[in-house]
């Protein structure tokens, strides 16, 4: 089985990692050479995926193509190429078009009567502001005083391209939904922990979310998949505030971080399931019960400081390699090397339950700090 992954960033790293776990051969395409996923692929082709002729050459002989980027012209070109070549594309462009705009996707949310953060600025301070077309924490800002908010708003050239809503506090959760119309499967709920700039630094599973709320989350995820007529994979993110799950965003594409966490907790491989869906038309299988508790965490070392950092720190690295038993972790994706003072790693640590997984995570971090003589250890959180 030969899978082509288009895009070598965080999503590409996720895709290449899980494809390798499925025993597949991975060909990675990217227009840049020094990308994180390159170290996990069997072969690499430097390619501008917006060029149809370049795609013809780069994708010759592959069985399935999985986009792992958020570039609409490239995604449109890949969809055209797949239609002309007959090679399946594990992606739903129409669902992505809805989810890639928060302003567009908020409309069906409201029609469905889903709980959401109140829109601003009428909701009052503090305000959370995010670009309409970017996912995750990219471009997110929080305003706590009126003068700073007014000054920033007046400086905008494109106010229509920003989402303004109340800033809520509480634990964040994610769930993936996989399948096709009339056959959707909601997967494992994962817990997201953020750093000081609201970027996800850590994912944990299983969660402590009330079982009734977990069931509600799965139901909402399936309803959203039905609303956008999803054929593929979609990620849904919520925040628990005031005892209610409030919908933050959806992304109809392979996410980063959570699929690897789900794989280590339940054994469920989302990339393998995507392949079965697009190659054979198989409806997704039921999710196995969690067998292990998992902590997936990004660490960045620089000088004498070790810090739990948001996933942006991994996106800036060059090729990562898979390191088994890294300082006691099950596995790590890292560019660490002897004598290197600036490096990063995504750690995967497991345990029989959440408490044991967290204890083992702390032992791994302490072993790194002690062995490398790092005198500072930080775990930043969003400001209250």
Do residues 199 and 274 share a domain? Answer: yes
Residue 136: the pLDDT is 60
Is residue 285 assigned to a domain?
Answer: no
99, 234 in Cβ contact below 8 A?
Answer: yes
Alpha-carbon gap, residue 369 to 49, rounded angstroms: 41
Asked whether residue 95 carries a pLDDT value surpassing 80, the answer given is yes
0.85 surpassed by pTM: yes
Is residue 122 assigned to a domain?
Answer: no
Do residues 254 and 315 share a domain? Answer: no
Domain final position from 223, 257, 280: 280
> To 5 degrees, how large is the angle CA 155–CA 126–CA 101?
65
Do residues 327 and 267 share a domain? Answer: no
Do residues 257 and 161 share a domain? Answer: no
Do residues 105 and 223 share a domain? Answer: yes
Alpha-carbon gap, residue 162 to 129, rounded angstroms: 7
Q: Can you give the residue range of the structural domain that contains 134?
A: 127-166
Do residues 13 and 35 share a domain? Answer: yes
Residue 134: the pLDDT is 67
**Cis check: omega of the bond before 206, within 30 degrees of 0:** yes
| Arithmetic mean of pLDDT, 3-28 | 98
pLDDT tens figures, 165-186:
898 889 999 999 999 999 999 9
Alpha-carbon gap, residue 337 to 62, rounded angstroms: 33
Domain count, the chain: 4
Q: Give Cβ neighbours of residue 205 (< 8 Å, ≥ 6 apart).
A: 188, 189, 190, 191, 261, 262, 265, 290, 293, 294
222, 146 in Cβ contact below 8 A?
Answer: no
Q: How far is CA 144 from CA 127, 150, 245, in A?
A: 7, 11, 23
Do residues 359 and 311 share a domain? Answer: yes
| Mean of pLDDT over the chain | 94
Can you read off the two tokens belonging to residue 221? 């995820």
Do residues 269 and 331 share a domain? Answer: no
Is residue 384 assigned to a domain?
Answer: no
Is residue 138 assigned to a domain?
Answer: yes
Do residues 187 and 270 share a domain? Answer: yes
| In the chain, % of residues over pLDDT 70 | 98
Q: Give Cβ neighbours of residue 147 (< 8 Å, ≥ 6 apart).
A: none
Can you read off the two tokens belonging to residue 173? 């959760």
Least confident of 117-126, 191-200, 227-236: 117-126
Q: Give Cβ neighbours of residue 297 (< 8 Å, ≥ 6 apart).
A: 201, 202, 203, 308, 346, 347, 349, 361
Domain final position from 239, 257, 280: 280
Sign of CA dihedral 113, 115, 119, 124: positive
Closest CA to 12 of 42, 36, 48: 36
94, 88 in Cβ contact below 8 A?
Answer: no
Can you read off the two tokens belonging to residue 230? 């999803």
- Token look-up 């062995």 returns 371
Is residue 299 assigned to a domain?
Answer: yes
Asked whether residue 33 carries a pLDDT value surpassing 90, the answer given is yes
pLDDT tens figures, 36-90:
999 999 999 999 999 999 999 999 999 999 999 999 999 999 999 999 999 999 9
CA 169, distance to chain mean position in Å, is 20
Do residues 230 and 104 share a domain? Answer: yes
Is residue 22 assigned to a domain?
Answer: yes
Asked whether residue 269 carries a pLDDT value surpassing 90, the answer given is yes
- Token look-up 């965003």 returns 249
Sign of CA dihedral 161, 164, 167, 168: negative
Query: Which is it for strands 2-6 and 25-30: parallel, antiparallel or unpaired?
Result: parallel
Helix residue spans in the chain (DSSP H): 10-21, 52-58, 72-85, 93-99, 102-111, 146-155, 211-227, 258-266, 270-280, 312-315, 354-372
| pLDDT tier, 140 (very low <50, low <70, confident <90, very high otherwise) | confident
Residue 157: the pLDDT is 76
| DSSP at 208 | -
Q: Give Cβ neighbours of residue 69 (< 8 Å, ≥ 6 apart).
A: 6, 7, 9, 11, 12, 75
Residue 137: the pLDDT is 62
Asked whether residue 318 carries a pLDDT value surpassing 80, the answer given is yes
Domain final position from 252, 280, 308: 280
| pLDDT tier, 135 (very low <50, low <70, confident <90, very high otherwise) | low
Do residues 102 and 187 share a domain? Answer: yes
Can you read off the two tokens belonging to residue 36? 């994180």
Is residue 117 assigned to a domain?
Answer: no
Do residues 133 and 104 share a domain? Answer: no
Query: Which is it for strands 305-308 and 293-302: parallel, antiparallel or unpaired?
Result: antiparallel
| pLDDT tier, 121 (very low <50, low <70, confident <90, very high otherwise) | confident
Instruction: Indicate the length of the chain as a whole number.
Output: 384
List the CATH number of the domain containing 54.
3.40.50.720
Is residue 286 assigned to a domain?
Answer: no
| In the chain, % of residues over pLDDT 90 | 79
């Amino acid at each position: 089985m030969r899978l082509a992954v288009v895009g070598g960033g965080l999503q590409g790293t996720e895709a290449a990692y899980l494809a390798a776990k499925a025993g597949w051969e991975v060909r990675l395409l990217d227009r840049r050479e020094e990308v994180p996923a390159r170290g996990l692929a069997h072969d690499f082709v430097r390619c501008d995926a917006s060029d149809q002729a370049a795609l013809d050459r780069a994708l010759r002989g592959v069985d399935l193509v999985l986009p792992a980027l958020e570039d609409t012209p490239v995604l449109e070109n890949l969809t055209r190429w797949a239609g002309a070549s007959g090679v399946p594309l594990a992606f739903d462009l129409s669902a992505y078009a809805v989810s890639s705009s928060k302003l567009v996707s908020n409309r069906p949310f409201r029609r469905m009567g889903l709980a959401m953060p109140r829109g601003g600025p009428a909701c009052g301070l503090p305000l959370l502001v995010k670009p309409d077309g970017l996912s995750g924490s990219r471009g997110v800002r929080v305003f706590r005083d009126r003068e700073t908010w007014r000054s920033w708003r007046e400086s905008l050239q494109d106010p229509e391209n920003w989402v303004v809503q109340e800033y809520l506090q509480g634990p964040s959760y994610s769930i993936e939904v996989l399948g096709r119309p009339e056959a959707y499967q909601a997967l494992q709920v994962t817990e997201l922990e953020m750093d000081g700039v609201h970027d996800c630094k850590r994912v944990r599973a299983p969660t402590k979310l009330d079982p009734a709320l977990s069931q509600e989350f799965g139901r909402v995820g399936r309803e959203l998949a039905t609303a956008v007529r999803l054929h593929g994979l979609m990620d849904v993110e919520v925040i628990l505030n005031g005892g209610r799950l409030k919908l933050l965003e959806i992304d109809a594409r392979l996410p980063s971080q959570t699929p690897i966490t789900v794989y280590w907790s339940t054994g469920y491989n989302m990339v393998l399931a995507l392949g079965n869906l697009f190659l054979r038309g198989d409806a997704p299988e039921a999710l196995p019960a969690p067998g292990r508790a998992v902590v997936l965490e990004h660490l960045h070392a620089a000088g004498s400081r070790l810090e739990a950092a948001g996933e942006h720190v991994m996106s800036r690295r060059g090729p990562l390699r898979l390191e088994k038993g890294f300082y006691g972790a099950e596995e790590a994706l890292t560019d660490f090397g002897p004598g290197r003072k600036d490096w990063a790693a995504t750690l995967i640590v497991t345990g029989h339950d959440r408490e044991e997984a967290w204890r083992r995570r702390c032992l791994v971090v302490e072993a790194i700090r002690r062995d490398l003589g790092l005198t500072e250890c930080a775990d930043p959180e969003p400001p209250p």
